[in-house]
Amino acid sequence: MKKLGKLKLNNFSEMSEQEMKFVVGGQFDPSAKKKCEESLYTCNGVCPPKYGTSYGTSTLISQTCTPQKDFMTKKVVSCFCS
């Protein structure tokens, strides 16, 4: 298996599926959803869990990936968790 550091950019596309699974710190999961910030235009990414603490009790706060649109063009310019 080739090491990522030794790969040239033109060889990256020639990697086998098995090699792709081990690129960049762990196994590659093709079914995994992107982070919210990485899902520009569709904003269908996943937000990390957020916890709130009140009087020593921690509770999970649900977040959704929300688009931020340009005021003039109404086009999505970024996605954020809220």
Euclidean distance between CA atoms 45 and 40, whole angstroms: 9
The C-alpha angle 32, 12, 18, rounded to 5 degrees, equals 55
- Give me the chain's average pLDDT, please: 75
Give 53-73 pLDDT, tens digit per residue: 888 888 988 899 999 999 999
Euclidean distance between CA atoms 82 and 71, whole angstroms: 19
Q: For 22, which DSSP code?
A: T
Give 18-35 pLDDT, tens digit per residue: 555 555 555 555 666 788
Euclidean distance between CA atoms 20 and 57, whole angstroms: 42
Report pTM. 0.51
- Inter-residue contact 68 to 79 (CB < 8 Å): yes
The C-alpha angle 27, 30, 33, rounded to 5 degrees, equals 105
